[in-house]
Amino acid sequence: MISVDRTLLSVLAATAFTGACVADVATGPDATDDAAAAAPKPPKGKDGHAQTDGTGTGETFFSAGDPDPQNPFFASLGTNGRSCGTCHQEAQGMSVTPAALQARFDATGGTDPIFRLVDGANAPTADVSTVAARRLAYSNLLARGVIRVGLPIPATAEFTLAAVDDPARYASAAELSLFRRPLPSTNLAFLPAVMWDAREPSLGHQVIDATLGHAQATGVDQAQMDSIVAFETSLFTAQRSDNGAGDLTKKGGGGGAEAVANTDFFIGINDPLGHNPTGAAFDPRAFTLYDAWATDRKATPSQAAIARGQALFNTKPIAITGVPGLNDTLGQPTVMGTCTLCHDTPNVGNHSFPLALNLGLTDEANRAPGMPLYTLQNKTTGAQVKTTDPGRALITGKWADIGKFKGPVLRGLAMRAPYFHNGFAASLSDAVDFYDGKFGIGFTAQEKSDLVAFLQAL
């Protein structure tokens, strides 16, 4: 099992409010503690409890033993009633989902602690004086489960902001509004970079920023911050059962959260781009969880589908083109690979070495309703690009980094729709369709079904 010490040494992990950043502190009618009583309760027991997610059940394994209900992860440490658990809930894979957010809004009239101007609203200046106004102000959060991140264009950037189209009439070069999903505060032992744009230098630093920014605290207690880090690095989440296949740990199946906790990992493991410190060759068969079901003559149809989906994920050829961060880095217009070329961490599915890629998700053509659109202009060439989120470029200032983001861990996917950094894909079927269309893979209907069955079983 990966120890907490090893995690802290080897992992730059994304955690509390991982999909957001330290934003300007806001005041107003939503910055009260009137909903503090709605703070989430800690999960129970070392193995947590089954969380129904529509396709089966997921679970969280607590490798350090029973969670302490007094851990500051569950406490409001700021001025607006929020805790880490406000945006990272066990039933939603330690993230949040639109359906659950809509239920919380309806139950509280939009005063639950997650609904705060500082980063929950489309703009920190939004009108939140009535229930109807709050529903409009928090429409992006309600629709796609995205938190607003406010970041400026670096003074030394290779580009400027030529134009902005923000439906909320707030964003500027001083603070772009960026809408991103909160990454799960679990399975942190497998992450090589902190946040979608890898902007935080360490997990400990990120926890402090989240407390000061998202919880709007006036200061932090270092012992509490350390306790949050220790708690989060003890969490492992995965799917435990499937409605069709049953218990994913039976008959040789490798599902379940405890198996995740016992998965070997180091930065660069199975990396296909030469960053494996052991020098071992890349193995595209990165997932072996359901190998036993592939050869079991008594496997049920659902179990067989999951095994076929795993084989497709490992072996289906993909001609990867037009992906900045991969094709340009390698100097190859077409890179032949499979899903595991980018999802290479064995039985986990993120990239094991820091790798930011531009999949085109922030292109104007993929702009969702309510999203700002930014026109960026290269200072040297005058070239322009339109994007809903410059991504890593707002950290490095590099023109080549526009639209680049890291990929997430794939375990526990079924619990935490929607997918991608901006909630672009409402379902796993939508995510498969996106890749099929982008790369012209040519999945058959059966192959798509099998792939979704596999992804749901992670």
Per residue in 298-336, pLDDT (tens digit) is: 999 999 999 999 999 999 999 999 999 999 999 999 999
Question: pLDDT tens-digit profile of 280-300?
Answer: 999 999 999 999 999 999 999
Task: Look at 332 and 23; give whichever has higher pLDDT.
Answer: 332
Query: What's the number of CA atoms in the CB half-sphere (13 Å) around residue 130?
Result: 2
User: In angstroms, how far is the first alpha carbon of the chain from the final one?
Assistant: 19
Per-residue pLDDT band at 67 (split at 50, 70, 90): confident
pLDDT score of 5 more than 70: no
pLDDT of residue 17: 28
Average pLDDT over residues 3-12: 29
Indicate if the pLDDT at residue 9 is higher than 80.
no
Q: What angle do CA 37, 42, 47 make, to 5 degrees?
A: 160
- Least confident range from 16-20, 106-110, 159-163, 257-261: namely 16-20
Angle, CA 387 vertex, CA 382 and CA 392 arms, to 5°: 90
Q: How confident is the model at residue 394 (pLDDT cuts 50, 70, 90)?
A: very high
Query: Is the per-residue pLDDT at 33 higher than 80?
Result: no
pLDDT at position 46 is: 52
Q: If you average pLDDT over residues 341-361, what whole number do you get?
A: 97
pLDDT of residue 47: 53
Query: What's the pLDDT band for 48 if we cut at 50, 70, 90?
Result: low
Quote the mean pLDDT of the chain: 90
Q: Which pLDDT band, with edges at 50, 70 and 90, does 51 fall under?
A: confident
Q: What is the pLDDT of residues 410-434, one digit of tens each?
A: 999 999 999 999 999 999 999 999 9
pLDDT in the model for residue 34 = 35
pLDDT at 444 over 80: yes
Count the alpha carbons within 13 Å of 91 in the hemisphere toward its beta carbon.
Answer: 11
pLDDT at 146 over 90: yes
263 — pLDDT class (breaks 50, 70, 90): very high
Supply the pLDDT for residue 66: 84
